[in-house]
Amino acid sequence: MDAVWTKVCDAQHVQPDSAFACEVDGRMIAIYRVEDRYFATENVCPHAYALLSDGWLEGTEIECPLHGARFDIQSGAVLEGPAECALKTYAVRIEAGEVQCIIPA
């Protein structure tokens, strides 16, 4: 089955060096813009329910606002606990001014 690109948001909504929260097919997703690159991860911290889009983005690291867990938004890897599980990440592209992701079924 071919990958299906899904519109997540308009690219203009994602400000540089910040995270933008959106929901696609019931999934909460955070879109990040670092310089001219875009990244997408799940928006809920796997350690405890907190929205990563409310956290602090520094370079390609997002810090959870609840307990301070840090993640690499490129790979989803945990950089600092208390989280033990990596974030889900999604492939991203910009097409006709839209941020699009591949959202697995």
**What one-character DSSP code corresponds to residue 10?**
E
Q: Please list the pLDDT of the chain residue by residue as tens digits (105 residues).
A: 567 999 999 999 999 998 999 999 899 999 999 998 999 999 999 988 899 999 999 999 999 999 999 999 999 999 999 999 999 999 999 999 999 999 887
Q: Is the pTM here over 0.85, yes or no? A: yes
Q: Which residue ranges form the domains of the chain, and what is each CATH number? A: 5-102 (2.102.10.10)
Distance CA 87, CA 78 (A): 8
